[in-house]
Amino acid sequence: MQLPTYDDVVAAAARLAGHAHATPVLRSATADARWGARFFFKCENFQRMGAFKFRGAFNALSKFDAAQRRAGAIAFSSGNHAQAVALSARLLAMPALIVMPQDAPAAKLAATRGYGAEVRQYDRFSEDREALTQRLAAERGMTLIPPYDHPDVIAGQGTAAKELIEETGPLDRLYVCLGGGGLTSGSALAARALSPACQVYGVEPEAGNDGQQSLRAGHIVQIPVPTTIADGAQTQHLGNYTFGIIRRDVTDILTVSDAQLVEAMRFFAERLKMVVEPTGCLAFAGACADAAAIRGQRVGVIISGGNVDLARYAALLAP
């Protein structure tokens, strides 16, 4: 197994130029004063379709050869990866088939179809999602793009940290939202190349600390689906590629509670005027919990996305 490298991140950045947004890096004098640090917030909630996932999906689909393009891409996801593959396929004029649970939120189904993708729904209780997807891929000759454990996906996700560090210069610490590890491993590749002394932290929900357990154990630990408001980090295990990079290049994996996520979400709304989904709050919540360590430091925070149902968001904001 050949792990992707920073050269792959550079190549991904070239493919994404003109397609992905070069998202802004925001500062907050209030955050800096409160924690005695210098924060740099990389805002992937402002990315196309509202999350960093567009970067990895577009990079992977861009590398398809002519036959793959004709047949198109297939993915299983009820979250941001579904929309990322759907939008990337539309932009690259290829078919996309997304396998989603029957009980996926109507808004997510509509958004995925809105990007022109075909949606195949399945029964979570009676059908095996992966087997179904493999069968559909074989029948139609489509290329399966997994949500995180793929070198092209990882390289694409790494372009966010590349942009961040190219804009800010070297950082002391970089905090990244951690689910399956695509964003964290890609970010680590970029940080190692552009800011070698930077310490890189993945941040998980307390209830879903499979990454932390894996790092401690030295092998991938699988957990039951965790209960957390960070729905993008309900992954049960890291992947072979993501774990391979994380164990080599990531300093540590931290965890935060749902209450800390809500506190960070409110801070983002009140002070940075940004809507951040619960999963997107992991990195900042982790940095804040690390208060003694970040004092006096240049701290990068990668906000992964902003896709949250408005009614749910309003309920979380209300005191």
- Does the active-site annotation cover 32? no
Among 15, 38, 42, 48, binds a second copy (CB under 8 A): 48
- Does the active-site annotation cover 257? no
Among 1, 66, 93, 310, binds a second copy (CB under 8 A): 310
- Does the active-site annotation cover 42? no
* Alpha-carbon gap, residue 115 to 199, rounded angstroms: 38
**Region of 40-48, 92-100, 128-136, 219-227 interacting with a second copy (CB under 8 A):** 40-48
- Does the active-site annotation cover 181? no
How far does CA 251 lie from the centroid of its chain? 18
Q: Locate tokens 């992964």: which residue? A: 304
Among 9, 26, 176, 207, binds a second copy (CB under 8 A): 26
Using CB atoms within 10 Å of the CB of residue 314, give its burial: 0 to 12 exposed, 13 to 18 middle, 19+ buried. exposed
- Does the active-site annotation cover 78? yes
How far CA 275 is from CA of 81, 88, 183, 304, in Å, comes to: 19, 23, 19, 11
Name the β-bridge partners of 73.
96, 143
Instruction: In angstroms, give the least distance from the CB of 8 to a second copy.
Output: 27
Q: Identify residues 273-292 at the interface with a second copy (CB under 8 A).
A: 273-276
Contacts of 118 (CB under 8 A, 6+ apart): 95, 96, 97, 98
Using CB atoms within 10 Å of the CB of residue 105, give its burial: 0 to 12 exposed, 13 to 18 middle, 19+ buried. middle
DSSP-derived 3-state class of residue 287: helix
Q: Locate tokens 């391979």: which residue? A: 244
Q: Work out whether 96 is an interface residue with a second copy (CB under 8 A).
A: no
Of 274, 256, 282, which Cα lies nearest the Cα of 317? 274
Closer by beta carbon to a second copy, 292 or else 311: 311
- Does the active-site annotation cover 28? no
Of 8, 163, 204, 290, the catalytic one is: 204
**Region of 25-33, 118-126, 160-168, 221-229 interacting with a second copy (CB under 8 A):** 25-33
Binding mask 234-273 for a second copy (x = CB under 8 A): --------------------------------x--xxxxx
Residues serving a catalytic function are 53, 78, 204, 208, 210, 304
User: Would you tell me which residues interact with a second copy (CB under 8 A)?
Assistant: 21, 24, 26-27, 29, 45-46, 48, 50, 266, 269-276, 306, 310-311, 313-315, 317-319
